[in-house]
Amino acid sequence: MAIALCYVGAWGAQNKPGPSAAQGASQPSRTILVLGDSLSAEYGLPRGSGWVALLAQRLAAEKIPATVQNASISGETTSGGRSRLAALLTADKPGIVILELGANDALRGLPLAMTQDNLNQMTRAAQKAGAKVLLIGMQVPPNYGRDYADHFAATFGQVARANKAALVPFLLKGVADAPNAAELFQSDRIHPIAAAHPTILNNVWPELKKLLK
């Protein structure tokens, strides 16, 4: 998510990790496709310390037979994700698709209607391919303007409701809005440090676990 959303202060190069797996010995595996931006692509982090890698570790620890395929790219927009999704659905045949996109749209000042349409189309394409969808919501700081910030945050819920998809309202809950937020971000004040990624995973896990059932 190579973006200039200054989370710290407002609230108080590309990395693309390879796939990681957690598979049970006697049960068929399932694929979880993560399509996101730098928040999911371990931007500025040691390899294996981002929330997607931690997800694979948790699946293994809980003996849940699933493979995590991380297709996240730093700087990705909803338009970019939409253009790549069809090929990923064909190649990976995921049972669950996690969509963590939208923040870079805000950075670039793209129309919210376009962001919403892209998220709708990706959600429907994944569902048509037989996958369950988990939308990951984002927020922008108040300095973007209250009206814009409110509408942006509401977009993810609107898409989820329209398509009966699962939703995590705010990926960075407990990080960007934490009392010690300044300590939880890298020096760019945009990307969380490795120590914040367990919290990020804990935001995703409850809704994802429902889909895994």
User: Active-site residue numbers?
Assistant: 38, 188, 191
| Cα separation, 135 vs 63, whole angstroms | 24
Q: Are strands 132-136 and 66-70 parallel, antiparallel or unpaired?
A: unpaired
Residues 85-114: b if buried by 16+ CB within 10 A, e if exposed: beebbeebebbbbbbbbbbbbbbeebeeee
DSSP β-bridge partners for residue 183: none
